[in-house]
Structure formats: C-alpha cells, structure tokens
Structure 1
C-alpha cells in the first residue's frame, strides 16, 4: 500500500515520522512544493520522499493534514478518488492572534483567549464536509483529536496512548488501525463517521483533547 500526506505542518510531519520509524514508504507534500521539504525528508530518511500534492493524493491511503480554511481549495482540484482511503485529520477551527484580532473579544467564544474559534458548518459535522471534497473516497476520521506532539510518544506512563478513529468502511478502518497498532498506539473504534467523528473533533467534541493512556 502506498501512503501520501497532504500538509507538512505539525500533524503531517509527525505522521511522516511515524511512517519513517516503521520503515513505510510515503510521499509528503505541501503548497510550497517539494523543495521546501528538503530538511524534513533528510531528517526522515529514505522511506519518505517529497512530492507534489497531486503525487501524494494518488496514493492508496492519503492523510489530509491541512488547515480547515485551506481544505476545499486543496482537495477540490484533485482527481477522482475511486475508493482510495482518505484519513481526515482536520478540525473545523480557525486560528487568530488573540493579542491583535477583534475575535479575541468575542464573549460567545469560550476559546477566544486561546486564539481559536469554531467554524460554523451549518449543522454538518466536519467529516461530512470533507466527504464532499473527496467524492468516492473511503474516509476515516483519525489523528485529529489530541495534541499532535503526543504522536511522538505512543507509549507513555507505562501504557499505550489511545487514538480514536471512525469511519463507514470496515476495510479502510482496519488499514488505519494497523498503522496505529504498529506504531505502538492503542486504537479505539468510535463507530460510524457521523457518530465517532463529532465525538473526537476539536473544539467541542466530548472526547477531543483528552489524553487517555491504556495501562
């Protein structure tokens, strides 16, 4: 199975580190082009290469690790997915500078002091929206519910760190679960995408931001 990563920020780069540690081949891409990823791929070693967004998106399994505000633009121009797996690692939030933005004074936003605001999806959950951007893909929601820096430490406090995932295709979920298990995490299936996705999505998902460890 080939693996692609769209987005080279904290999530994309740490997912690439997981794959490199496992010796799995992958292509990572961002909007700035392969040359901008030279330092990262040198760090990761020969199993992870830099490529274009189109090259990463052509893989059998593709992690979407872009900012929510960029998701439609990035994904909307890509070819048909034809049953390939898309790991939706996004969250419907937007960041701002709490020191300068008027959004910091929004009394209705409990996250204003942290420079984060939720994006109104009109009653839809985030994976429903992402599914519209990747028609024909088998979407699995995963790697989005916790601080991405914990991906560097799958085993901690004498146990395995819990990662949640959800989706509507059992085979696709099994593939994603396999990577989690191989990396040393303890995966928990939250069921269907419309059920598990909202539970584990930032900022207000019941299970989001919780750092569970299975002892």
Structure 2
C-alpha cells in the first residue's frame, strides 16, 4: 500500500524522494491541494501521487511532516476522528513560529502530545533528528548507512517503520517508548538530534 505524507515542505519532500527512489508508492498532500504538487510529482516520478490531506491520511502508514504550528490544522484537515490503528510517523519538533520558540509541552514529550491528536493511531517518532538535506541524500554512504532513530509505544508499529527505513537504506535504531526514546530524540532537549551517525556495513 502507498505511504501517505501530510506536508510537502522540506522534510516531506526529502522523505518522498527517498521512499520513491526505494520503489515505494507515495501519496503526498498539503494545505494548498493536489494541483500545487504536480511539479514535484513530475520531478520525482510515477511513484509519487499528489492527493488531498484526507487521501494521504487514509493510507496504512501516514507521515506527519508539518511544522509544529500547523499540526492541529493538518490533523483536522485529515478528517479522521479515529485513526483505526494506522501507523502515524511523527517527524515534528516542538518549535513555534518562526521555528525558534519552544512550545510548552507541560513536561511531556512532543510525540506524547501528538499522540493525543491522532486517537486510535499507533504513533512512531522518527525522521526528526536529521536535516532535510541529510534525509534527502542517499543513506548508503561509503562509510556506512545513515542512522535513523525511532520510538513508539507499539512494538509492531516500531518494527514496521524500522523495516521501511531499512528498505530505503537507513540503519534504524529502536529507542523504545515515546516517553523514554522520544525524549532522547526530541529537538530541543534530546541528546540525539543533529548527530549524523553511520552504521558500518
């Protein structure tokens, strides 16, 4: 089944490019509608299909790739009061406009907050610790595979996302729960963001 991506900014485009290059089918969406994504689809190939937010949100695996300040709007546009155990990959970091002000999370991790917005979903935190340029580059380098961290409260969902990352070429490392692993991944505050780690072949 295709992967749905909500958000066509730098992170959404980087992930779409890597997924399509690995042979995955992707439905990408944004707040401006499918027509605004025709150029991107043309550049990345037939594996990428522009769609509505609702169409992207209906896939088995859905990537949230929107700025923190647009998160509520994006989830609302998905029109899914119950996410019915779909896997939602949270790439967000809790930075407000203009992406320098840290959101008040009340002591929780950002993904615990996001989890409340997608009831019924199996949320996995992933793809939030590297820059778009690094995410969009080939994860297989002469020195090894680029490391991707992930965490979540559902072991089967973590495993599914880890398999996807491995197919693309990344080296996935499962950090455990959202409360524990998510705190290590979180930007700002975590110790793992912006570490361009490689795993030897």
TM-score range, shorter chain: over 0.9
Instruction: Tell me the CA shift for residue 175 of structure 1.
Output: 1.2
In the other structure, the counterpart of 2:108 is 124
Q: Show CA shifts across 1:77-102 (max 9, x none).
A: 52120101000010001243xxxxxx
State whether structure 2 residue 141 is matched by structure 1 residue 156.
yes
Q: TM-score, normalised by structure 1?
A: 0.88
In the other structure, the counterpart of 2:23 is 23
In the other structure, the counterpart of 1:42 is 42
Secondary structure at 2:146's aligned position in 1?
strand
In the other structure, the counterpart of 1:94 is 96
Contact kept in structure 2, 1:166 and 1:173, CA below 8 Å: yes
Q: Show CA shifts across 1:172-200 (max 9, x none).
A: 11111111111111111101111111111
State whether structure 2 residue 119 is matched by structure 1 residue 135.
yes
Instruction: Tell me the CA shift for residue 117 of structure 1.
Output: 2.2
In the other structure, the counterpart of 1:74 is 74
- Distance of 1:8 and 1:76 partners within structure 2: 17
In the other structure, the counterpart of 2:86 is 84
Instruction: Tell me the CA shift for residue 167 of structure 1.
Output: 0.7
- Distance of 1:161 and 1:205 partners within structure 2: 19
Contact kept in structure 1, 2:150 and 2:173, CA below 8 Å: yes
Instruction: Tell me the CA shift for residue 150 of structure 1.
Output: 0.8
> Where do 5+ consecutive residues of structure 1 fail to align?
97-114
Larger Rg, first or second structure (1 or 2): 1
In the other structure, the counterpart of 1:58 is 58
Secondary structure at 1:194's aligned position in 2?
coil
Contact kept in structure 2, 1:76 and 1:134, CA below 8 Å: no
Q: Show CA shifts across 1:44-80 (max 9, x none).
A: 1111100000000000000000010111122135212
- Distance of 2:129 and 2:97 partners within structure 1: 16
Instruction: Tell me the CA shift for residue 209 of structure 1.
Output: 1.4
Secondary structure at 1:43's aligned position in 2?
helix
> Where do 5+ consecutive residues of structure 2 fail to align?
none
Instruction: Tell me the CA shift for residue 157 of structure 1.
Output: 4.8
